[in-house]
Amino acid sequence: MFADRVKNITASGIRKVFDLAAKMQNPVNFSIGQPDFDVPEPVKEAAIQAIQQGLNKYTMTQGISILREKVKEELQKTKNITPEGLMITSGTSGALLLAMMVLVNPGDEVLLPDPYFVMYKHLLSLAGGIPQYYSLYPDFEVNVKELEEKITEKTKIIILNSPSNPTGTVLSKEKLVEIAGIAKKHNLIVISDEIYEAFIYEGKHHSIASYYPKTIILSGFSKTYGMPGWRMGYAAGPYEIIEKMSTLQQFSFVCAPTPAQYACVKAFDVDLTPYIQRYKAKRDKIYQGLVDLGFKVIKPKGSFYIFPEAPWGTGQTFCEAAISQEVLVIPGNAFSSRDTHFRISFTTKEEDIDRGLSLLSKVLHPSPKQ
C-alpha cells in the first residue's frame, strides 16, 4: 500500500511524548523544543497589520524582497557573509527537505552527526540517500580525523548542527576551519543547520559559511522569536543550489506564510538580550541541578537542550521511569544509534525546572519493583 520511501518513517520519540503530555494533568514537560516565551508584541502587531491590510495572498516563491534583504544584512553583519542566493522557506525543516531533495540522489552518502536532530536521517531516507554517522561521543565534539575517515567516493554532503539539538554543543571557529578544509579537499557540500544561533551562552556563534563558500546555511525565526507555529525559515548559499530549491518550493510549499513574512521584517528590531539572559539562567539552573544530583552531563554552550547520561539502564528505560513520575523527557535513541542518554529541553518556567529536578531525584535510585 505505502511507497517504499516512507516504510521506515515512523513518528518521532519527541512527538510520542508530546502527545502523552496532552493526556497528563500537570507534568513537568522537558520534552518539546519550543520557547516558552510568546512572539514579541511588535512582531505580533506587524502580523496583524499585514492581515488587515490584505497581505494574505501568495508572495514570490523565494519570499518578499524586503525580508530577504534584511536577512542578507544580518548575515553580513554577524557572519561577514554575502550569500549568492537566499530564500525564505516554510520553516527550517522545509528548507532541509528542499535541500535534500535537490542535492541527494539514491545511493549518495551524507555524513550526519550522532547524536543528530531527528529529521536528518528521515528526510535523507526520503531522498534515497544513505546516512553515514560521525560520532560526537563522548564529549559531543567533532573529531575531525574520524570525520574524514568516514568520507568515501559516494560522499556528497556533510551536515553540521551548531548550536546542537540535542546536545547544546557549539562548534568553535578553529574546528569549523578544520572541517572547511576537509570539505574543500573532498569537494563536498556542507549543510549547516544554525536555527539555534541566537541562543549562545559563552563566546560567539561562528558559521562554517564564513570559511567555506560551498555551504548552505539553514536558519530562521521560529526558535529565536517564539514562533515555531508560524513556520518561518530561510536558506542561504550558492546561487545555483538556492535557485533549484526555490523552484522545488514553487511546486511544494509554494511560499512561506505571507503575513508572517511581513511580520518577520519587524523581528530584526527586537532586542533579544533579555530572552537570551533568561535562557542562560535556565541553562545554569538545570546543569547545576543535574550535577548536584550526580548525573554525568556536559554543560551546553548553546541552544536550549541538555543531554545527560542515563544513570542506570538504557536511556529508554530511564525515561519510562521518569515519565511514570510525570517528568517528560526524551530517550537518547530518538537522536542517536546509542541508547545511553536522554534529552531535556529547558524551555519551561524556573519553578518547573526545580520541580522536575526534584522528581528526577526520585528516579535516580529506583526501588526493586521498578
Which 3-state string (H, E, C) describes 188-202?
Answer: CEEEEECCCCCCECC
Mean pLDDT, residues 193-204:
96
**CA dist list (Å): 14 to 21, 34, 63, 338:** 11, 12, 30, 16
User: Average per-residue pLDDT in the chain?
Assistant: 93
Give the model's confidence band at 370: pLDDT under 50 very low, under 70 low, under 90 confident, else very high: very low
Tell me: do 278 and 238 sit in the same domain: no
| pTM, 2 dp | 0.93
- 370 lies in a domain? no
Task: Tell me, rounded to whole angstroms, the distance of Cα 137 from its chain centroid.
Answer: 18
- 132 lies in a domain? yes
Give the model's confidence band at 6: pLDDT under 50 very low, under 70 low, under 90 confident, else very high: confident
Q: Which domain holds residue 318?
A: 4-32+272-364
Give the model's confidence band at 168: pLDDT under 50 very low, under 70 low, under 90 confident, else very high: very high
Among 267, 296, 324, residue at a domain's last position = 267
Is the Cβ–Cβ distance between 21 and 29 less than 8 Å?
yes
Residue 362 pLDDT > 60: yes
Tell me: do 258 and 169 sit in the same domain: yes
Is the Cβ–Cβ distance between 242 and 236 less than 8 Å?
yes
Mean pLDDT, residues 271-284:
96
pLDDT value at residue 368: 55
356 CB contacts (<8 Å, ≥6 apart)? Answer: 28, 30, 327, 344, 348
Give the model's confidence band at 5: pLDDT under 50 very low, under 70 low, under 90 confident, else very high: confident
Is the Cβ–Cβ distance between 331 and 342 less than 8 Å?
yes
Among 267, 290, 313, residue at a domain's last position = 267
Is the Cβ–Cβ distance between 192 and 162 less than 8 Å?
yes
3-state secondary structure 229-283: HHCCEEEEECHHHHHHHHHHHHCCCCCCCHHHHHHHHHHCCCCCHHHHHHHHHHH
